[in-house]
Structure 1
């Protein structure tokens, strides 16, 4: 009994010492810290249970700058304009150092840091150049044909979860655009297995970026399956003769520029994830909001008919110029993005950073929440309401968004594929609404639980009935 008591007291003393060592402020000017009481895990359980509410409640309780200790890391949130401006402009912050551990955990643990940094810049510039606004015309025609082809697989009518409907059309179309027709699995049985593994990989990506691999066994199995598949994809791509530059797929451009050819399958998987993780949720939320607002739905259909004639009579060809005439749909896309933006984006503090009266120490992850920033009434009056016409004020002809909008980032680290993703969603919405009469059978879902450092919020359950337009 005495031995058991001694062991218990030793354990309690060890926990207390670990808590004091881990959670003590680095200096008196550090922001208030929410640390929890469990070593390493810290406040991860409270934060992970309802992150959006956690951020807002912490802001109210502790002020606009506060730190959360979770999973061995210090996440310092800035929630007002001075801190947000510093996040996007300060030279004391580094984006690549923030994402490098995530890439190591989720793509390939053996990528040396120096190789990652060399590849990141090269591949970012490659992707940015190949899917820029000036080159979208190279994708538009093929994308339209792909969407038609996979939309035909839906049949004439049915009832389906809206997220599954979008995935079944958008997923294979995007893969064929980026990787080449038939490069990835395309027959029904193989595609189902492929989609199943990717869906698991995508859904748990953010958790896997923070948690040790032994907590994520099913996710790890799906990652291994996908990497094995991409080994074959890359091998096949290397064997075929390379076309001229404008005829190359995005995958082929990636293979031309990756440093360390043995890492090509890993970067192919990263390309797949990056192309899908945001675009499909954006399409889901855009359609869900449109279908739940009858007057907006009606106005959109009038616009579509004015451009293409009576809806549903044939497979239409949709060009970039056609999309420019359907501005209300683009407003709906941007408004859906505003309302369902990431809960948090991050950079690493590399030198002590002063914000207000606080000094944020080097090593912290500095966090900004686009979700809450997009609810700032200074920039977005009536922020919880889906109001596409607020985007009339944006100069979209010059590709300028509304002040306060940060879903795609700012500066040199903006999402390189944002214009292609918006075009994909825009075209998908046009074709679906042109061909089918869609009826939402369930209310628009509320926000899904948010990951620690997120992409767009995951899609919710929402059934939709579709039938051909008369």
Structure 2
């Protein structure tokens, strides 16, 4: 009884302390004077935890609610961090094309990426070194390679469907196929057969797959928020990272010892590269770049591929029209058969429009963060009430002509995924999946005026940060794998449509926000059926 009484007393004491902390936090927000140069603070009850529950369950819904209360610029606490969201195309441009003196991607993400990718690459190096590493990667993303990759990707899709979806070989219908699992496996097989090289592809059926699985376990929101927990999954991640590095280095050593001509893959492109200082790109750095390409590209492409399968399972008419487009553009009238897919003719109008709409509605990353390393002013135009139709009248009165300052040590967040479904930008059907919007005459992405090009060290690209459509980011951190992703996804979709029909087994799934990449929530199953006559 004594122990129970002590436990009860302790529980009451903890509850009392929690209630006191909540009361003090609320009182501070209501009574304490606010610096007018700081963005409005989102009201929250629990200190430290802040808005983590609301944001974690439905980030875009949370951002929308805050925007209507506070305008396009506001600060919210998240697990001990203070995050300032700058919504809208101007807000995205402010973050993604921000000055290096003010905003820093490396400090925002290195604690998540470095244990997975490895040291001396990506966010574990200064930005100018990362730009050089992106230039090295670009040497492997050539038109010549893309031409070769299309056939390799197509064959991997055919083999996978035959072995794993229609497992018995003679089966023509496969119900209950998980769209994400299918997309994930196809994505990693096609990436390993092309960018990664034949040695990686050969090992994918063996121990390498387990290494990938263990490393992937360290790429979650838990790792982002708490990077140094003593958990078994963290230890498995670290062991897998080391073994995967050794695996890539052993490939490099064997290739150097061989007299055979090396394959035209990314490993070949990265060998013998030098930094501007004259220092060589080391085998360790090559291995870590290869791991980064595998892990980062795998997550985003697998999620996008899953959404593609689900959207076409839901929309039978669109699936039929994509098949008819393949016949229109690729049917050889003499033989009566479809010509093999080729790089130059891959991007047919409806297929391209479908992929664009897919990335508009289902961007793998809805938000992007930077750490403030020097007090950073937010231009008045980003949070201007006159340009903010959603904000309340009280916000407009409070903030006319305001220019905010975000202090050093806090974080700033751009949400391109929010802008891509904003009815104020795209119209009443903004949240409707409609591939045809990209085929309409005179259609133009809001804010996509030419902003000029800039070379950050890996080739000229459009700065493009003011666009309302940024599925691959913008500025110096724009995804360098954009072209490969389009080739990979286009070839996979075209091959699936040519060979199969499929239907959705349940209602269209919602978003799963529990992972780093936005994936379809379970259940997400489709029923595949082989086409009776494959031309």
> Aligning the two structures, in what range does the TM-score lie when normalised by the shorter sequence?
0.7 to 0.9
Counterpart-to-counterpart distance in 1, 2:122 and 2:291: 18
Higher radius of gyration, 1 or 2:
2
Match of 2:226 in 1: 211
Counterpart-to-counterpart distance in 1, 2:122 and 2:475: 26
Match of 1:102 in 2: 112
Q: Does the aligned pair in 2 maintain the 1:132–1:417 contact within 8 Å? A: no
Matches within 5 A, 1:175-186: 175-184=192-201, 186=203
1:86 positional shift = 1.9
1:276 positional shift = 0.6
Match of 1:343 in 2: 366
Larger proportion of helix: 1
Match of 2:524 in 1: 462
TM-score by length of 1: 0.83
Distance 1:353 1:101, change over 3 A: farther
Per-residue CA distance 1:125-171 (angstroms, 9 max, x = gap):
22234225675224323333333333332334322112222223232
Match of 2:387 in 1: none
Q: Does the aligned pair in 1 maintain the 2:252–2:283 contact within 8 Å? A: no
Q: Is structure 2 residue 396 aligned with structure 1 residue 332?
A: no
1:43 positional shift = 3.1
Distance 1:179 1:59, change over 3 A: same
Q: Does the aligned pair in 2 maintain the 1:201–1:219 contact within 8 Å? A: yes
The alignment partner of 1:153 has SS state of helix
Counterpart-to-counterpart distance in 2, 1:10 and 1:463: 47
Match of 1:251 in 2: 267
Counterpart-to-counterpart distance in 1, 2:44 and 2:106: 28
Distance 1:349 1:246, change over 3 A: farther
Q: Does the aligned pair in 2 maintain the 1:282–1:456 contact within 8 Å? A: no
Q: Does the aligned pair in 2 maintain the 1:350–1:363 contact within 8 Å? A: yes
1:442 positional shift = 2.0
Q: Is structure 2 residue 506 aligned with structure 1 residue 446?
A: no
Q: Does the aligned pair in 1 maintain the 2:510–2:521 contact within 8 Å? A: no
Match of 1:369 in 2: 415
Q: Is structure 2 residue 406 aligned with structure 1 residue 383?
A: no
1:409 positional shift = 1.3
Distance 1:197 1:112, change over 3 A: closer
Per-residue CA distance 1:323-371 (angstroms, 9 max, x = gap):
13x2211211110111112221122333322233222223322111122
Counterpart-to-counterpart distance in 1, 2:156 and 2:512: 30
Q: Does the aligned pair in 2 maintain the 1:36–1:43 contact within 8 Å? A: yes
Matches within 5 A, 1:64-83: 64-83=72-91
Distance 1:446 1:109, change over 3 A: same
Q: Does the aligned pair in 2 maintain the 1:105–1:209 contact within 8 Å? A: no
Per-residue CA distance 1:189-248 (angstroms, 9 max, x = gap):
54663564355345x2x4312223317542542453254133123222233128999944
Per-residue CA distance 1:57-102 (angstroms, 9 max, x = gap):
2222222111122233221101134323322333233334433343
Question: Which segment is superposed worse, 265-274 or 419-428?
Answer: 265-274
Match of 1:353 in 2: 377
Match of 2:103 in 1: 93
Q: Does the aligned pair in 1 maintain the 2:303–2:517 contact within 8 Å? A: no
Match of 2:246 in 1: 231
Match of 1:270 in 2: 292
Question: Which segment is superposed worse, 266-275 or 80-89?
Answer: 80-89
Counterpart-to-counterpart distance in 1, 2:517 and 2:186: 21
TM-score by length of 2: 0.74
Distance 1:90 1:265, change over 3 A: closer
Distance 1:321 1:42, change over 3 A: same
Q: Does the aligned pair in 2 maintain the 1:353–1:362 contact within 8 Å? A: no
The alignment partner of 2:430 has SS state of coil
For these two proteins, the number of residue pairs brought into alignment is 460
Q: Does the aligned pair in 2 maintain the 1:71–1:211 contact within 8 Å? A: no
Match of 2:456 in 1: none
Per-residue CA distance 1:273-320 (angstroms, 9 max, x = gap):
12211111111112211221222122111111223449xx98962101
| Unmatched runs of 5 consecutive residues or more in structure 2 | 1-5, 274-279, 381-401, 451-460
Counterpart-to-counterpart distance in 2, 1:315 and 1:449: 40
Distance 1:25 1:75, change over 3 A: farther
Q: 1:297 aligns with which of 316, 319, 323?
A: 319
| Unmatched runs of 5 consecutive residues or more in structure 1 | none
Question: Which segment is superposed worse, 404-413 or 140-149?
Answer: 140-149
The alignment partner of 1:136 has SS state of helix
